[in-house]
Amino acid sequence: KDFEGRTAFVTGGANGVGIGIVRNLLNAGVKVAIADIRQDAIDKALASLDNREVMGVQLDVADRAGYKAAADKVEAEFGPVSMLFNNAGINLFQTIEDSSYDDWDWVMGVNLNGVINGVATFAPRMKDRALSGEVKGGQIVNTASMAAFIAGPVPGIYNTAKFAVRGLSYSLRYSMAKYGIGVSMVCPGLVKSHIYASDDVRPEALKGEMQAVDEKAVERLAGLHEFGMEPDVIGERILEGIRNNQMHIFPHPEHKDEVRELAEEVLEDFHDYPEDPGYEKRIGFENMR
């Protein structure tokens, strides 16, 4: 697939995974909008890119009205967006039983509603343009995580949001296929990024009920992320996955065995009850979808 001349909208594009996607898109001749909540990070990214075909737009992906305004602004300048990267995300290392409504609203607001808002804003536009023939094809790429498959006691809300992004991605892939638009989900392991500093972008309005930020834990996470995959490498693997219109893009082969073990554990939970021989035939699994 040749991406040249397309316009991409990359949320959380100023850092980490996002900036890796941005650089690889620019190298492929794509016009790119970096949508990020941090204006200083956008400015820094733009200065480092030194490319005319890139613009910045400040956006909190959890803000629906703001999302539409950002989309309109980008399309007025760079033309129709046909590559959407729902990548912005934050993390909160807490168990579910220790989380407040403010914690839930923040993490689900960015990591799930942010993806929903991206899809609600752009998927209808992409569909209409495909139907009218104005723009052919396109791709929606959601950054989930290995945490969309493997859950632990922490980060509980993050796991919840990423599992939901996985469900959304599967369903959207079925429905958008008939318009020639692909949907992929990226499931990274550790990446060199700033996600450990998520508390810095937590909105004041959602700080009412929260545990004190554990600076030691943040420092430890910052150190851990230094060992992660380089943004440019993950960006390259993501573009390769899109070229093949892969459903799952797993940039870290190191996690393959975990998924295999999970699949085996799930299958083990099916009991050996006697099967109703006519069940599948009468219902037809296709009719359930």
Residues that bind ligand NAI (CB under 6 A): 11-12, 14-18, 36-38, 41, 59-62, 87-90, 110, 114, 143, 145, 188, 190-191, 193-195, 201, 225, 228
Q: Minimum Å distance from CB 145 to ligand NAI?
A: 4
Q: Encoding tokens for residue 94?
A: 């807490």
> In sequence order, what are the beta bridge partners of 224?
none
Residue closer to ligand NAI (CB basis): 188 or 241: 188
Count of beta carbons in the 10 Å neighbourhood of residue 255: 17
Residue closer to ligand NAI (CB basis): 36 or 103: 36
- Helices first, then strands: H and E counts in the chain: 10, 7
Contact, 254 vs 229, CB < 8 A?
Answer: no
Torsion over CA: 37, 40, 42, 45 (sign): negative
Amino acid at 69: A
Q: Minimum Å distance from CB 254 to ligand NAI?
A: 12
Residue closer to ligand NAI (CB basis): 110 or 181: 110
Q: Minimum Å distance from CB 273 to ligand NAI?
A: 38
Check if 273 is active-site.
no
Q: Minimum Å distance from CB 136 to ligand NAI?
A: 28
Q: Minimum Å distance from CB 115 to ligand NAI?
A: 9
Residue closer to ligand NAI (CB basis): 33 or 135: 33
Kindly report the three-state secondary structure assignment for every residue of 231-287: HHHHHHHHHHHHHCCCCEECCCHHHHHHHHHHHHHHHHCCCCCCCCCCHHHHHCHHH
The 3-state DSSP composition of the chain as helix, strand, coil percent (nearest 5) reads 55, 10, 35
Per the rule left: phi > 0, alpha: psi between -120 and 50, beta: everything else, 245 is left
Q: C-alpha angle with apex 113: 71 to 123, nearest 5 degrees? A: 45
- Marked catalytic residue, from 101, 158, 170, 196: 158
Residue closer to ligand NAI (CB basis): 78 or 250: 250
Catalytic sites, residue numbers: 158
